[in-house]
Structure 1
Amino acid sequence: MVRLTVDLIAKSRNHFKKKRGLAFPEYLKTLTHLHFSSKNIEEIGDLSMCRNLTVLYLYDNQITHICNLDFAYNLTHLYMQNNNISQIDNLSNLQKLSKLYLGGNRIAVVDGLETLCELKELHLENQRLAPGEKLLLDPKTLLSLAESLSVLNISHNNIDDIKDLTVLMELQHFSAADNKLHNMEELEHVFSHWPQLLQMDLSGNPVCKKPKYRDRLITVCNSLVILDGREINELTRQFLINWKASKDAKKKKNNKQITAGPPVLYPITNYINMGQGPHLGHIHGHSVQRWNPQQPLRSNIIVHTDLS
């Protein structure tokens, strides 16, 4: 088993040889960036002497658990994509962490990030999930990230709804390509709560085939600059906003007329009994036989009157 330890750092040509003038323990204290990607590492060992570590590159390895990073109070960037991690653990002490890369692992539930109040980027794309399984994001974790997270990548994870993401009001870049999103109304509701959104990618989802898909999202996301890799023309946006406003106003007017109720229908006999009513010779442009008091009416003629 290959373990990342200070001994492995000492043997690395990319590290210790660059500062031979320092004793090794002193060198470890000055270390801020640690590059150990693609080294077949399966486990993180004791690195506590690297107390000033800020950036750790461990992508493309065989790591199954996140561990032994409690010492790294100053860590801001953690790259652990393309490993074998199935659960997000032991990150509670990394309260300065701003970028977390966990794409290409085996994570089914995203949780354990509640203390990362400065996390700005979370990359979770392409999890290797079991057939029929989808990536789930814990609502408690999402709420804890609501005021900090600006970049979220959840592409290619069999996701079919994102209503729990509504709380992420600071998002500026959102990627959810190649999922199973299909509910246009749900997307409009969620995106209406993201006033900072600048760039979004939903390509490869069933919802992209809905009529007016692009037009509807452009009118909801007023700050959006790029949608599915295509830039949004400002004149096009303004035209669509005006078109939607006109359509909504017309719909509101029609609903108001319907709410007022249908016209009232009165039997003509009521008018006759009351000694009032329209001239019986012509009713709404139709010729009607004049009534003879000596003869009974053959039928109960209905007069349509507009009382408005």
Structure 2
Amino acid sequence: MTMNQEPILDIAHLAHIELLTPKPTESLDFFRNLLGMEVVHSEGQSVFLRGWGDQQLYSLKLTEAKQAGLGHVGLRTVSPSALERRAQDLEESGLGLGWSDGDYGHGRSYRFTDADGHNLEIYYDAEKYAVPDHLKPGLKNMPQKYSARGASVTQLDHINLFSSNVDADSLFYRKQLGFKLSEQAITDEGKQTTAWLHVTNKSYDLAISLDKSGSRGRFHHAAFKVESPEMVLRAADVFLDNGIFIEAPPNKHVAGQTMFVYVYEPGGNRIEVCAGGFLIFSPDWETVTWTPEERKKGLAWGTPLPSTFHTYGTPDASK
């Protein structure tokens, strides 16, 4: 996509992710009781869950598997014609896998991989969430009533994918799907080590980080949003009280400026609970570039992330 081309505006938002877990019972307990998500459907080896503020039917599909990791990412288009346009471009890119009849809660989808081998799908037709009586909110413009359970996450906020070639993956999402590059971290030679990309007005819906293990298609983390920084602190206490390993305690990111806490759910996938961050409204936003020297300063308040944050992903490459 060259600078003088009209932007691609066919993708509406990150709709859902499928996470794989070798410990389905323990992982389900984590998302339902510690994150406070609601189960909306069970089918085969999978359970579908939503946060209380999710505007779609569900944002997480949790599937039993031998190894932890990413099953697939679901992106919703803005219209049926947008779906056809993106499918045609993806087919021509050589990374298309073809059409499917869809999954629970949504219609037919076009499946494909990104440049590093992560599985994705795009679709438009989606079932609306029919809130049950016991979850009906006091205000009709809310998806459901507030969840007062565990960390009480509102919705899926963003995902971070590990990649063996961040530049190639970043270009793929920009060229084929219309993501915009809000921020990037680069080496002294100018190669991307992390790319933050967005299709909504959030600072990023998707991050791509360099996988130094050389593996392809691994998963870094999924982030679920809470209402305030204080709720991030509350989430950390919930994890502490329930024996969940906290990889990185509450702090503030430089890129995106979100408050966070990082943990490993029982199946092994890294999960972030986050709050805050900035929004982008300017159509001519200029990509913010972070140099290696700037990145050495650590997080916003000067402390570093643990070394595992830059090496651990799922599936675990060390096994």
Question: Whose radius of gyration is greater, 1 or 2?
Answer: 1
TM-score by length of 1: 0.24
TM-score by length of 2: 0.24
Q: Which has the higher contact order (CA 8 A, sep 6+)?
A: 2
Higher helix share: 1
